[in-house]
Amino acid sequence: MTATEIRKAFLDFFTSKGHLVVPSAPIVVKNDPTLMFTNAGMNQFKDIFLGEAAPKSSRVTDTQRCLRVSGKHNDLEEVGIDTYHHTMFEMLGNWSFGDYFKKEAITWSWELLTEVYKLPKDRLYVTYFEGDTKEGLETDTETYELWKQYVDEAHILPGNKKDNFWEMGETGPCGPCSEIHYDGRPDNERAQVNGATLVNADHDQVIEIWNNVFMQFNRLKDSSLQPLPNKHVDTGMGFERLVRVMQGKTSNYDTDVFQPMIQFIAAKSGKSYNSVAKPGDTDWNDAVAMRVLSDHIRAISFAIADGQLPASNKAGYVIRRILRRAVRYSYQTLGFKEPFFNQLVPLLAEQFKGVFDELYAQKDFVQKVILEEEVAFLRTLSKGIEIFNNITAIYNGGTTILDGGNFVNHEAGKNVIKGKDAFELSDTYGFPIDLTELMAREKGWSVDIDGFNAALQEQKTRSRAATAIDTGDWIMIKDEDEAVEFTGYDETETIAHIIKYRKVSAKGKEQYQIVLDKTPFYAESGGQVGDKGELIFPNGDIIYVTDTKKENGLIVHFTDKLPSTPEDALTAIVDPQKRNSTEGNHTATHLLHAAMKQVLGSHVNQKGSLVNSDYLRFDFSHFAKVTDEELAQIETIVNQKVRENIPLKEERMVAYQEAITSGVTALFGEKYGEYVRVITFDDNFSKELCGGTHVKATGQIGYFKIVAESAVAAGVRRIEAITGVAAENYINEQTKLVQGVKELLKNPKDINKSIEALLEENNRLKKEIEKAVLEKSSGLKDELAKKATEINGVNFIAERVELPNADAVKNVSYQLKDIVPNLFLVLATENDGKPGLTVMIAENLVKEKGLNAGTIVRELAKEIQGGGGGQPFYATAGGKDATGLERALEKAKSFLS
C-alpha cells in the first residue's frame, strides 16, 4: 500500500465504526498558555475532555499534524540520528467523547492492524499500565483481560508510569494507556532475542506504533489527579511509522513519505544516500544531514503556513532554531554554500496536496520566508567562522582581525575555547555548539564544555525567572457543566455569576482570573483585543477587568482583586467607549482587506492583525512595497464603503462548508468549527469568517486613514490605519502643520512654489559661497608658497590661515603640495572658537626622513588640548584651547632639526 492508501484506510475504517472525520487543527496553538505547538491529536479536543465544550460528535477520527520540538514532548535531538522520531509527523487518531471505552478501542485497533493492514500478529506486542502506588493508581487489569482475548499472553507486557500513563503537559487531561509495538527485526534475530525484552528499550527496530489512551483524569497544578466528568478514548498512531511497517522498511525515511525528498537532496548535493550507514561510517554524516533536511522542512513549512514566522523569541525562536539546524547541515555537511533548503518547499507542498492544502495554497510565500532566513543565517554562519578564527588567533598571539568590537571580550586558554566564548558563538551568532567543537577539533583545539553548559544554564535560569508564571488551580464557586455563554454580540451589560477563579503570579505581580457563566466581555482573538470593564456586585464592590482572554473553551477575565462575596449575582459591564472604537477599527479592517484584494490582487492574505480602540494593524502577504498610488486607491475604496453606510449582516450559525462555497474569506492557521459566524458588509464586497464585534453600519466608522506602510518580514507587509475620532484628530494635526508652514512663509498663494523658490535660492547661494572660497584659497595658496623657508632641504611653512571649513583647508594643502617641492606644511585654523591643525608632508620626505604627519599632528595637538590622526603624509587634529595655536606652529619647527 502507498502512504496515501494507508492514511485513507485508517479514516475509512473508523468511519465504518460510526466516526466523523474532522480536519487537522493548525500546528501552531492559540488560546492555550500551556502549549506552543500541537503535540498530539488530542490537543484540539482538550476543552471537550475538561467538560468546557461540547463535541460535534461523540466519535471522531482524523490525521493531525503534530510537532514535538518543545516542552514535555521534545524529540528534536533524536531527529536524523534515529530512524523513527520526526519533528513534524502525522498522528492518526480515533476518539470517543464519553461514548465507547476500552473494549471497543482495543478490539478495533486489533481488527484494523491485523485484518485491514494484515500485519503479522507474532510481530505485535501490547502493553498495559502496571499501576503506581505513589499516585494511588491501580493496575489496569481490565485492559490486560481485554487484550487476552486476541493476543498471546507472552506478548502482553506491563508498563510503568513513564510509558503507560499518558500526559499532554505538566497539567491537563491524562490517563493510563496501552501501546502497540512492532518488532521489525529479521527472523533470525527474532529467534535469538525475545522481542518482549526490547519493547520500550529504544531499539530502532522494535518501535511503538500506536497508543490508546484512556482519559480519566485532569492533572492539577499541585500534581494531584482529579477525575474527569466523563471517560474518553484518545488514540494516536504515528503515520510515518505505520507506513514503514506496512512497506516492510527498517527506517521511516525509506518509505514513499520521505524518499522523493531524500533523493532530491541527494541529487542536488551530488552525494548518495546510504540508509544503513552507521555512526563512524564515512557516509554517516551525509545520511544524517539528508534525514534532517527532509524532516525539518516539514516542521518549518507547516509552522509558517499555520502562521508562525521565524522570530527572535518564543514559538518563533523555536522555529528559527530548527531552520538553522537544517541550514547548518546543508551548508557544512552537504556543502550547499548557497541557499538550498527553501527549494524543498514546492516538493513538499505537492506531496501534501489533498491532505493539508494550507501549504500548497501558500507555497510561494513559505518558500520566500525560508529563503530570506537562510540568506541571513548563511551570513551569520560565515561571520561566526570569522569570529571563531579570531578567538583562536588571540591565543596564538596572532594579528587582530577585528570583529565589530566583540573581539576584546574573547578569551582563549591553551588550545581551549573558553565556555563563554562558545556560548556567545551559539547565542549571538546561532553557531551550534557541536559545530564549534568540530571546528575546534579540526584545529587541534578543544572546547570547554563545562563552561559552555554553565553559561547556558545561567541564561536559562535568567530567562525562566523573567517569564515564570505561577498559575494556581481553579477554585469552584458554582458547579457548571454547560459551556460559558458569550452575550457580547447583543449587549454590553449582563447579569452573571462567577463559576470559578484562580490566582496567577508573574514577575512578582498577583492577578486573578475569573470565569463567569455568562459574559458580554469579548476575549482577545482574531486580532481584536479583549474587552475591559467592570464587574459590579450588590454590596458595592467594583472589580475592574483589565483584560479578557480565551483559554480553550473558557472566557477568562483578568482582575487585580477578588470580590468579597464571589457567590453573588454581579453585573458585568463592558467599557462602551473602548468597545465602540474597537468595533470601528475591526470593521475597517474587513473593508481594508477586501479593498486590498481589489487593488493588489487575490494573493493578498491576512498574516496577522491587531485591532484595538486606538488603531488597526494589518499584516498581509505581498512581495512588493505598496505604492503611494495603491495606498490612495485602497483608502478611497474604503471611505466610499464607509459613506455607503452598509448595514452589518451577521450570520451566527452557518455550516462551514456552505460558508466556504459562498466565497467567504477564511484565514490560514485558524481552527474553525463545524458552524461558523459570517460577517458581511455588502454581499459583493466583504464576507469574512469572524468571531469579532462590529459596527451596526459602516457609517459609524466615520473616516478611514492609512498612516503607515512597512515591511515586517520576508514577503509580509504591514498597513497601520486609524478611524473615527482618531482619524479626525490626525487630519486636524496635519492641517495645523501646513498652516504653520504657511505662516512661516508669510502666507504665500502657493506653498509648493514658494518652498521650491526657497530651495533654489539656497542652492544658488551655496554655489556662490563655494566659488568665493575657491578664489580665496587660490590667492592664499600663492601667498603661502612665498612664505616657505628652507630648513635642511625641506620647504617649511607654518602659518595661521582663515578658511571657512575643513574642505577648504584640505584643498589649499593639496594645491600647495603640487607647487612646492619637499613641502612640510602646518596650518592652524580657528572656526567658531574651535582650534584646528593640519599637517601635510611631501611623500618623498615621509620615505626618506621618516616623517609622519599623523604622529606629528598628535604631538602638536597637545598644545591645543586636543587629538587627531590621519595618514603619514596628511593628518588633522582638533582641540579645545585656541590660545595654543601659536605654540603649536612654533613647535612644528622642532621636527626638522
Binding site residues, as ranges?
586, 590, 690, 694
- Of the candidate spans 230-238, 279-287, 676-684, 695-703, the one that interacts with ligand ATP by CB under 6 A turns out to be 230-238
| Helix residue ranges, H only, 17-117 | 46-49, 102-111
Taking the least distance from each CB to ligand ATP, the nearer of 53 and 174 is: 174
- Taking the complex as a whole, the smallest distance from the CB of residue 31 to ligand ATP amounts, in Å, to 22
Other CB atoms within 10 Å distance of the CB of residue 85: 21
Annotated binding site for Zn(2+): 586, 590, 690, 694
Which residue number, 178 or 581, has a Cβ lying nearer to ligand ATP? 178
Contact between 124 and ligand ATP by CB under 6 A: the answer reads no
Q: x/- binding map, residues 32-71, to ligand ATP, per CB under 6 A?
A: ------------------------------------x---
Question: Closer to ligand ATP at the Cβ: 151 or 209?
Answer: 209
Which cell goes with 431? 553557531
The alpha carbon dihedral of 454, 456, 457, 463 has a sign of: positive
Interacting residues with ligand ATP between 499 and 538 (CB under 6 A): none
Encoded one letter per residue, x for contact with ligand ATP by CB under 6 A and - for no contact, window 161-180 reads -----x--------------
Query: Shortest Cβ distance from residue 69 to ligand ATP (Å)?
Result: 9
Measured CA to CA, the distance from residue 81 to residue 251 in angstroms comes to 11
Q: Are 827 and 809 in contact (CB under 8 A)?
A: yes
Q: Which is nearer to ligand ATP, 59 or 68 (CB)?
A: 68
CB of 338 to ligand ATP, least distance (A): 30
- For residues 173 and 236, which CB has a smaller minimum distance to ligand ATP in the complex? 236
Residue choice 26, 80, 238, 566 for contact with ligand ATP (CB under 6 A): 238
Find the binder of ligand ATP among 65, 86, 328, 420 (CB under 6 A).
86
Residue number of the CB closest to ligand ATP reads 238
- Rounded Cα–Cα distance for residues 198 and 203 (Å): 6
Q: Residues 6 or more apart from 490 whose CB is under 8 A from it?
A: none
Does residue 249 touch ligand ATP according to CB under 6 A? no
Nearer to ligand ATP, 91 or 293 (CB): 91
Q: Do the Cβ atoms of 679 and 695 come closer than 8 Å?
A: no
Residue 240 engages ligand ATP in binding (rule: CB under 6 A): yes
The span of 208-216, 377-385, 396-404, 562-570 binding ligand ATP (CB under 6 A) equals 208-216
Shortest CB 206 distance to ligand ATP, Å: 10
Question: With binding defined as CB under 6 A, does residue 208 bind ligand ATP?
Answer: yes
Taking residues 552 to 581 in sequence order and writing x for each that binds ligand ATP by CB under 6 A, - otherwise, the string is ------------------------------
Is beta strand 156-159 parallel, antiparallel or unpaired with respect to 124-129? Answer: parallel
DSSP string of 304-320, one letter each residue: HHTT----SSHHHHHHH
Site string for ligand ATP, 640-679 (x = CB under 6 A): ----------------------------------------
Provide the Cα torsion 886, 887, 890, 896; round to 10°.
-130
Q: Which member of 6, 27, 91, 631 binds ligand ATP (CB under 6 A)?
A: 91
Q: Which is nearer to ligand ATP, 166 or 356 (CB)?
A: 166
Cα 431 from chain centroid (whole Å): 18
With beta carbons less than 8 A apart as the criterion, state whether 542 and 534 touch.
Answer: yes
Hey, how many other C-beta atoms are within 10 angstroms of the C-beta on 442? 8
**Shortest Cβ distance from residue 555 to ligand ATP (Å)?**
30
Q: What's the chain's Rg over C-alpha atoms? A: 36
Q: How far apart are CA 806 and CA 829, in angstroms?
A: 9
Binding-site size for ligand ATP (CB under 6 A) equals 16
Could you tell me which of 748, 745, 750, 818 has the C-alpha nearest to residue 778? 818
- Residues contacting residue 432 through CB under 8 Å, at least 6 positions apart: 324, 325, 328, 426
Interface with ligand ATP in residues 66-85 (CB under 6 A): 68, 75, 85
Q: Which of residues 805-844 bind ligand ATP (CB under 6 A)?
A: none
Minimal distance, residue 688 CB to ligand ATP, in Å: 36
Find where cell 605654540 sits.
887
Rounded alpha-carbon distances, angstroms, from residue 549 to 258, 606, 618:
40, 22, 21
Range in contact with ligand ATP (rule: CB under 6 A) among 209-217, 282-290, 351-359, 452-460: 209-217
Give 85 or 418: the residue with its C-beta nearer to ligand ATP.
Answer: 85
Residue 210 engages ligand ATP in binding (rule: CB under 6 A): yes
Among 42, 237, 288, 825, binds ligand ATP (CB under 6 A): 237
According to DSSP, residue 333 is labeled I
Of the pair 86, 418, the CB lying nearest ligand ATP is at: 86
**Which is nearest to 640 in space by CA: 707, 695, 696, 591?**
591
Q: Which helix (H) or strand (E) holds 874?
A: strand 874-878
Q: At what angle do helices 284-305 and 314-328 cross, to 10 degrees?
A: 150
Window contacting ligand ATP (CB under 6 A); options: 10-18, 237-245, 396-404, 636-644: 237-245
Amino acid at 119: L
Footprint of ligand ATP on residues 7-26 (CB under 6 A)?
none
- Region binding ligand ATP by CB under 6 A among candidate stretches 202-210, 339-347, 420-428, 556-564: 202-210
Closest residue by Cα to residue 98 from 215, 18, 15: 215
DSSP string over 581-617? HHHHHHHHHHHHHHHHHHHH-TT--EEEEEE-SS-EE
**DSSP state at residue 266:** H
* Residue 175 host element (H or E): strand 172-183
Cell of 405: 568590537
Contact positions toward ligand ATP, by CB under 6 A? 68, 75, 85-86, 89, 91, 166, 208-211, 236-238, 240-241
